[in-house]
Copies of this chain bind each other. A is one copy, B any other.
Amino acid sequence: MVRLARFSADAFLAAAVAIVAESGPSAATMGAIARRSGAPTGSIYHRFESRAALLATAWTGIHGAFVEAVAPSLRAGDALRAALAITGWARGDADAARFLLLNESGALFDGAPLPDPLRAEIRRQEEELDAAFQACLAAARDRAAARMERQDGGKPPDGIRVGVDEAAARARFLVFDGPIALLRPYLLAGTEIPGHVDRMIAEMHGAVPVAPALAAVH
Tell me how far the C-beta of A167 lies from the nearest C-beta in chain B, rounded to whole angstroms.
9
Q: With CB as the reference atom, state the residue of chain B lying closest to A196.
A: B166
CB neighbours (8 Å) of A188 from chain B are 105
Q: CA of A162 to CA of B199 in the docked complex: distance in angstroms?
A: 11
Number of copies: 2
Q: With CB as the reference atom, state the residue of chain B lying closest to A199.
A: B160
Q: With CB as the reference atom, state the residue of chain B lying closest to A174.
A: B200
CB neighbours (8 Å) of A170 from chain B are 196, 200
A204 on interface, CB distance cutoff 8 Å: yes
CB neighbours (8 Å) of A24 from chain B are 105, 107
Tell me how far the C-beta of A29 lies from the nearest C-beta in chain B, rounded to whole angstroms.
14
1/0 per residue, CB under 8 A from B, across A46-88: the answer is: 0000000000000000000000000000000000000000000
CB neighbours (8 Å) of A172 from chain B are 185
Stretch at the interface among A14-22, A122-130, A146-154, A175-183: A175-183
Given A206-B207, A207-B206: A196 in contact with B169 (beta carbons within 8 A): yes
Name, among A102, A173, A199, the residue most crowded by chain B CB atoms within 10 Å (CB to CB). Answer: A173
A173 touching B169 by the CB < 8 A rule? no
Q: CA of A200 to CA of B207 in the docked complex: distance in angstroms?
A: 10
CB contact between A184 and one of B177, B185, B200, B204 (< 8 Å): that residue: B177
Q: With CB as the reference atom, state the residue of chain B lying closest to A188.
A: B105
Name, among A24, A169, A181, A188, the residue most crowded by chain B CB atoms within 10 Å (CB to CB). Answer: A181
User: Nearest 3 CB-CB pairs, A to B?
Assistant: A207-B207, A181-B181, A177-B181
Apart from A24-B107, A26-B107, A170-B200, 12 more pairs, CB < 8 Å: A162-B196, A166-B194, A166-B196, A169-B196, A169-B197, A173-B181, A173-B182, A177-B182, A178-B181, A203-B207, A206-B207, A207-B208
Residues in A lying within 8 Å of B, measured CB to CB: 24, 26, 102, 105, 107, 160, 162, 165-166, 169-170, 172-173, 177-178, 180-182, 184-185, 188, 194, 196-197, 199-200, 203-204, 206-208
5 residue pairs A–B, Cβ–Cβ below 8 Å = A102-B105, A160-B199, A162-B196, A173-B182, A181-B181
